[in-house]
Amino acid sequence: MMPRIMSKLQSFLSTHSDLVFAVCLALIVFVMYAPSIHFGLIWDDPTWYQQGTGQSVWQIFTSLPSYQFYRPLGVLMNRALIASAGGLVNAPLAHLIQITAHLLTTLLSVSVLQAFDFEKWHARLASVVFAIFPLSYQAIAWAAPLQALTMLLLFISLVTANRFNRRKQTRFLFLSLLAYTFALLIQESAVSFVVLFIWLAFIHRNESTDRSRRGWPVWHLSLAAIYLFIWLHVPRAGGVIGQGFQPTVLGYLLQGIVFPFAGLLSIPLMNSPLIVLIALFALITLLLLLSLWKGHSLHQLLTIIAWLGAGLLPIWVGLSWKYVQLGSRLLYPSSLGIAALWSGLIIWLFTRQQFLSRHIAVSIGFTVVAVSISQWLSFQRLYAIGTQHLDQTISRLSDRANAELLFVNYPDRLELQPRTYPLGYWGLILAPVVENLSDFARAANGASAGDRSISDFLVGADQRAVYPYDVAVRGSDTDPSKIFEAALHSDAVYLTDYRSDGSLQLREVGSVRSSRSDQSGLATFGHSLQLSQADLSTGHDRSLKLTWRCLQPLDQNDTVFVHVSKDEQLWLSRL
């Protein structure tokens, strides 16, 4: 019985290998990114989803001067995620769109590479590396980026263009042009990839005797030119583009190509001069390209070069380091080229039929997967910690909609330590001080308390010193008198505790009220502090609420102890 079952199973797997591989690939993506459905909104999401509010579709297509780029379909899609009443953002659906886009793009990546005559196993291995490419995490786990959806439409356009190129059925050309138009109107990163349509037609130029139909890429080139003309002339906010050719950006992009090497050696390379990093990463990239040329056809090498150039060159030419260093999502469009490069090296070494070469191929493959999974786990844990803390904050704000809340030492950014790569910022930008915390609450629940964030670097410094992530809090260091004044006008004060296991806790630490000068107290500590009232709650969850009166400023090293005995008597002392 068992041999018969195994025989049938083997026959099924052999007959339906493409389907089995696709299902396994989809499961990998789903398992990796399904948790991000619950990540909610971060960074500038509340502002991002409000782009185009109150403007007509025509205005969004012709004039949106508050935005740095021209992405009318992206703006309209995000506006559609806002409920008509209250401005609520459907964050879970936004995350689901991101995950689905990456999943479908991953599945299409095999067909895209095969359209450029990559062998099946090369295309399959590249699709696996593309699925788990760790530098794509921000592009997928954060709800706002548009790279995954743009590349999905580009992949659809390439596959249908290849169908037209082979079958000469006009409907495939129409579908390709339509998908490419949508990709352009969602994000400008699709413009440079027009070179792939030209290259695709050139590769298959001898497959048709109809010379009049070989020039089909001119339609895609025309769409890209029209879009680029509009992009350059519509009103846009400045300060982002036109600051390119910075060496640090080049090093950052080359680092993305050689990600397993750069990730493994991030600590020893951390303080290396920039010129050394650029030279080292460029040399490794060159060796990878040479190995691909040695083990595969020339046009496959040129396809990968074209893909990398289309994805990376516009970033280096047009964007500043200040913008790029926070955006690993920018590497997403080039990630299939990076994946094809590393998978090409692995396959070339493995097929050389030499014992040492095969072991090196397996070692490189294991390293690529291990680095990807390890970094993915680090990113996922950090995002889960940060977004859970923000969710807790949103609940507090929404539950006390008529109050004024003060948040002390709330996290702006959390960065992995040591840094994942030598160049750039590798962490979570959670809630910058330019965005009110109440904006997140209103976008999630429609109601929020008023909020203010303030920081005192001395408070909790011992916690942050042993915290496993590098922390940037919201705001600069504030004078205690200003903190007191802010607390006096707040209904409650919340402090973020940074625990040694990496978790965060939002803790209400009381409020400040004015008091009568003749008010008596339970105990007085020297001439500085008086305990005015102590309330010990009853029930299963016991809590002690202390009301203090400050007589004069405390010394920085003062520590006050309040002890509760078994018979619920208070014992007080001062150190």
CB–CB of 256/236 below 8 Å?
no
**pLDDT above 70 for 568:** no
Q: For residue 12, name the pLDDT band (cuts at 50, 70, 90).
A: low
Say what angle helices 91-115 and 17-33 make with each other, to 10 degrees.
Answer: 150
**pTM, entire model:** 0.90
CB–CB of 151/196 below 8 Å?
no
The pLDDT value given to residue 225? 96
The pLDDT value given to residue 183? 97
The pLDDT value given to residue 104? 97
- Here the tokens at position 54 are 């109150």
Q: For residue 13, name the pLDDT band (cuts at 50, 70, 90).
A: low
Among 157, 189, 195, 199, which Cα is nearest to 175's? 157
Q: Is the omega angle on the peptide bond into residue 418 within 30 degrees of 0, that is, cis?
A: yes
Least confident interval from 86-90, 93-97, 224-228, 287-291: 86-90
Neighbours of 319 (CB within 10 A): 19
For residue 561, the surrounding DSSP H or E stretch is strand 560-564
Helices (H), 16-84: 17-33, 45-48, 57-62, 72-80
The pLDDT value given to residue 209? 55
Least confident interval from 101-110, 216-225, 288-297: 288-297
Strand 469-473 versus strand 504-510 pairing type: unpaired
CB–CB of 522/531 below 8 Å?
yes
Give the helix, strand, coil percentages of the chain, each rounded to 5. Answer: 60, 15, 30
Average pLDDT of 140-164? 95
The pLDDT value given to residue 252? 97
Residues forming a β-bridge with 82? 89
**pLDDT above 80 for 451:** yes
**pLDDT above 80 for 543:** no
- CA dist 215 and 535 (Å) reads 83
The values of phi and psi at residue 236, to 5°, are -145, 155
* DSSP per position, 383-429: HHHHHHHHHHHHHHHHHTTTSEEEEES-EEEEEESS-SSSSS--EEE
- Alpha carbons within 13 angstroms on the beta-carbon side of residue 561 total 8
Say what angle helices 194-203 and 217-233 make with each other, to 10 degrees.
Answer: 170
The pLDDT value given to residue 501? 93
**pLDDT above 50 for 574:** no
Contacts (Cβ under 8 Å, ≥6 apart) of 481 = none
The residue written with tokens 């970033």 in the block is 315
Identity of the amino acid at 47: T
- CA dist 141 and 412 (Å) reads 18
**pLDDT above 60 for 575:** no
Average pLDDT of 2-29? 73
Average pLDDT of 6-30? 76
- CA dist 157 and 55 (Å) reads 30
Average pLDDT of 380-408? 95
Average pLDDT of 449-455? 93
First-to-final CA distance of the chain:
79
- CA dist 439 and 427 (Å) reads 22
Residues forming a β-bridge with 572? 562
The pLDDT value given to residue 70? 85
- Here the tokens at position 501 are 């296991």
Q: pLDDT tens, 494-520? A: 999 999 999 999 999 888 877 666 666
DSSP code for 5: H
For residue 463, the surrounding DSSP H or E stretch is helix 461-466
Q: For residue 1, name the pLDDT band (cuts at 50, 70, 90).
A: low
Contacts (Cβ under 8 Å, ≥6 apart) of 218 = none
> What is the pLDDT of the chain when averaged over all its residues?
88
Least confident interval from 43-52, 403-412, 492-501: 43-52
DSSP code for 518: T
The residue written with tokens 């009232």 in the block is 533
CB–CB of 499/471 below 8 Å?
no
The pLDDT value given to residue 53? 77
- Alpha carbons within 13 angstroms on the beta-carbon side of residue 143 total 28
Task: For residue 188, give Cα distances in angstroms to 70, 113, 130, 159.
Answer: 7, 22, 21, 20
Q: pLDDT tens, 231-254? A: 888 876 666 666 778 999 999 999
**pLDDT above 90 for 547:** no
The pLDDT value given to residue 4? 58
The pLDDT value given to residue 61? 85
- Alpha carbons within 13 angstroms on the beta-carbon side of residue 93 total 11
